Amino acid sequence: MLNIVLFGPPGAGKGTQSNLLINKYNLVHLSTGDILRSEISEGTKLGVEAKSIMDRGDLVSDEIVIGMISSKLDNNPDANGFIFDGFPRTEAQATALDNLLKGKETSISVMLSLKVADDELIKRLLKRGKDSGRADDKNESIIANRINEYNNKTAPLKTFYSNQDKLSEIEGIGSVEEIANRLNSVIDNL
Ligand code: AMP
């Protein structure tokens, strides 16, 4: 199986690149942000709980997102592999993911970490806020909080995966196609 952690700060291009990778490598896309937003639009109890946390740009609890990923893995027993987008975001989530995959006799193949400078992230997120109406993309102080959460709780996961010899850092500036080519060449050389 090919199991990819597509990593990077908010606005790094994880969603865009995931959509290209799932087609090229026939993978299942698991984005905890997308799953949470669909819970919100369906008005589920989980969605109601998560909304105010997401609107502030804070992280939803590990327990909730680990549970969501666990059930998605169970629901896709015949997958060729998975792209984890926006998950894991904490060390507890990364450890839980390793254990879930171990239970299915598989593991993470690689962490592809997209590198983009903060000023470019803010520009991209504000544009997405305008185009999509996403509440957490519209306000600069919420964006700053998300980047802060990333730097404090999520970025250390690069060490977690580099300790397993799985980290590959990729320049996230350039055209969508250029960045896709960089990702593809890492995957093709695994
Ligand atoms: P994203 O679409 O990945 O930018 O996620 C949007 C928001 O959903 C984040 O700012 C968090 O509030 C929440 N979220 C998504 N994935 C996770 C996760 N793995 N752990 C905690 N919170 C998450």
* Extents of the domains making up the chain: 2-27+79-188
Low-confidence ranges of the chain (pLDDT < 50): none
Quick one: fold of 2-27+79-188? Answer: Rossmann fold (3.40.50)
Q: Are residues 69 and 32 in contact, defined by beta-carbon separation less than 8 angstroms?
A: yes
H or E segment and range at residue 22: helix 14-25
- Taking the C-alpha atoms of residue 126 and residue 101, their distance in angstroms, rounded to an integer, is 35
Confirm or reject: Cβ of 5 under 6 Å from ligand 1. Answer: no
Whole-number pLDDT of residue 149: 97
Tell how far the Cα of 126 is from the centroid of ligand 1, in angstroms: 17
Atom 5 in ligand 1: residue holding the nearest Cα: 33
Name the DSSP class of 136.
G
Whole-number pLDDT of residue 41: 96
- Taking the C-alpha atoms of residue 8 and residue 99, their distance in angstroms, rounded to an integer, is 22
Catalytically active residues are: 14, 89, 128, 134, 146
Confirm or reject: Cβ of 179 under 6 Å from ligand 1. Answer: no
Q: Are residues 15 and 179 in contact, defined by beta-carbon separation less than 8 angstroms?
A: no
How far from chain centre, in Å, is Cα 41?
A: 20
Tell how far the Cα of 42 is from the centroid of ligand 1, in angstroms: 17
- Taking the C-alpha atoms of residue 135 and residue 56, their distance in angstroms, rounded to an integer, is 9
Tell how far the Cα of 87 is from the centroid of ligand 1, in angstroms: 8
Confirm or reject: Cβ of 12 under 6 Å from ligand 1. Answer: no
Q: What is the pLDDT of residues 36-60, one digit of tens each?
A: 999 999 999 999 999 999 999 999 9
Q: What is the pLDDT of residues 88-101, one digit of tens each?
A: 999 999 999 999 99
Whole-number pLDDT of residue 63: 97
Instruction: Enter the pTM of the model.
Output: 0.97
